[in-house]
Structure 1
Amino acid sequence: MGYVSIWPILVLAFIHFFGSRLRFLAGIPRSTWLSGASGVSVAYVFIHLFPELHQGQMHMEENVVWAEKFLEHHVYLVALIGMSVFYGLERSVVSAKRKQIKRDQGESKSPKGVFWLHIGSFALYNALIGYILFQREEEPTQTVILFTIAMALHFLVNDFGMLEHHRGNYKKYGRWVLVLALIIGWTVGYVKEVSETIVVILTAFIGGGVILNVLKEELPEERESRYWAFVLGALLYAILLLSL
């Protein structure tokens, strides 16, 4: 195996370690920078990742017999499944937290069981992203940079969402778990190469997850999100992607 660049995984790990310390990003109304970061993540999925999935769809139709017979657009179905899975996990976490708060007479601290469910789902999410990141080692440096920037900003948005749900538990345990999962995923990519079909499926799943995780942070009315910042972030990154 040739030279392997580790800077992308270090950048993403750095975000989890120190991103939550950027206190100016916290609070309501939602930070302009977080809304802009959400826009960047979504722009990357629609402008760069989904076109890759189109190529992956053609690969799967040529190489996976059951895919062609079962569903013509099944790569996009995987993206839909990814979005649905993370939506279901998020709803279960929110529901469990509300029930616990009622039992505890208004105490807003998230129960440990809910915390570990939430962290476990995002640990899997991070591991898949780490794996996909390594698979991009053979792609042009420009492609790796664009993916890393989009995921770094996406992680920043996720971190503040986790802080809102879990506060001290996330700072004490959660960020370490997410960094470890990210590194494990990257390491698995280093020691074990899988077929292009599996990489396409994982990428589609993550694409759906990114869209859901961005929207769940931006849409709630109580967040008072900055729509103009979201649109500006998406527009500027889309222009960048289309110009390269």
Structure 2
Amino acid sequence: MNPIVVLTFAMALGFAAVHLFVGNLAFLDVVPRSRWLSFAGGVAVGYVFLHIMPELGAHGAAFAASTGFAPPVAEAMVYALALAGLALFYGTERAIVVSRGERRTTEGRDRPAHGMFRLHIGASALLIFIIAYLLNHREDESLPGLALYFGAMVLHFATADYGTRNHHPELYHRQGRWILAAATLAGWAAGLMFALPALVVGSLFAFVGGGIVLVVLKEELPEERRSYFLPFLGGAALYAALAIGELYLVT
């Protein structure tokens, strides 16, 4: 079997393990917010700005060639897809927060409605499916690039799953984590079976970038999170150093 396929399968299993076992990481369940979650958020944002965003510019050329639009228009379309990813996850988060507030007022239960759980897990599973698919279809196919992708996404999943579990603790443990783990392995398998056109892969990269930015920032920015700036900055700076070091070695 192709060694890269074995490696990406091991990485997909690592992603799935985060979904399944993040609830067992007791050191994350502290008040104020764990510094490790802020560090993980910084790494994920660093990945977006130092890998995904530059690649969007490259995919703009593929859009221009495939659609016939002028390069500025094609590039704007790529970034519009990133905006769509951000908007989708913002809308999902707002719906959950509103539902949680309504139930707190009317029923005294600090939980969103069950329909919101399905919406939240569905949107998260979509993002996770795409991220796992891209394990086998990335612009940067080098081993260091793949390792950086894996590290950034593992930390992103820890942050995102912690937030999901906070909204739906019982349902996440019983159902949600298994759905997300299954979405991970399904995305990896789809990456082996289907090689999508460059235009579609570029669209997926853009969508993922917008989604990750929203998920990370909504976990870090609200005042009640009591998050930490220095660990967030440290995670972003560490990832930036690794990414720039990789580019230096490659070039």
TM range (shorter): over 0.9
Paired with 2:140 and 2:81, the residues of 1 have a C-alpha distance of: 24
Partner of 1:243: 245
Paired with 1:150 and 1:114, the residues of 2 have a C-alpha distance of: 27
CA contact (8 A) 2:37 2:159 kept: yes
Mapping of residues 131-210 of structure 1, within 5 Å: 131-136=133-138, 139-210=141-212
Mapping of residues 73-152 of structure 1, within 5 Å: 73-104=76-107, 106-136=108-138, 139-152=141-154
In angstroms, what is the RMSD of aligned CA positions?
Answer: 1.8
CA contact (8 A) 2:60 2:74 kept: no
Paired with 1:70 and 1:51, the residues of 2 have a C-alpha distance of: 17
Paired with 1:190 and 1:133, the residues of 2 have a C-alpha distance of: 9
Q: Which amino acid aligns with 1:204?
A: A
Number of equivalent positions: 243
Paired with 2:140 and 2:214, the residues of 1 have a C-alpha distance of: 28
Relative distance call for 1:152 and 1:85 in structure 2 (3 A) is same
Mapping of residues 202-241 of structure 1, within 5 Å: 202-241=204-243
Paired with 2:140 and 2:224, the residues of 1 have a C-alpha distance of: 43
Secondary structure of 1:233's partner?
Answer: helix
Q: Shift in Å at residue 7 of structure 1?
A: 1.3
Partner of 1:63: 66
Paired with 2:10 and 2:240, the residues of 1 have a C-alpha distance of: 24
CA contact (8 A) 1:61 1:68 kept: yes
Q: Percent identity?
A: 41
Partner of 1:50: 53
Q: Shift in Å at residue 62 of structure 1?
A: 2.0
Mapping of residues 3-42 of structure 1, within 5 Å: 3=3, 4-5=5-6, 6-42=9-45
Secondary structure of 1:73's partner?
Answer: helix
Q: Shift in Å at residue 138 of structure 1?
A: 8.2
Paired with 1:72 and 1:58, the residues of 2 have a C-alpha distance of: 7
CA contact (8 A) 1:131 1:189 kept: yes
Q: Which amino acid aligns with 1:234?
A: A
Q: Shift in Å at residue 10 of structure 1?
A: 1.1
- Give 5+ residue unaligned stretches, structure 1: none
Paired with 2:234 and 2:44, the residues of 1 have a C-alpha distance of: 12
Q: Shift in Å at residue 76 of structure 1?
A: 1.2
> What TM-score comes out, normalization by structure 1 length?
0.94
Partner of 2:249: none
Paired with 1:58 and 1:136, the residues of 2 have a C-alpha distance of: 16
Secondary structure of 1:134's partner?
Answer: coil
Q: Shift in Å at residue 100 of structure 1?
A: 2.0
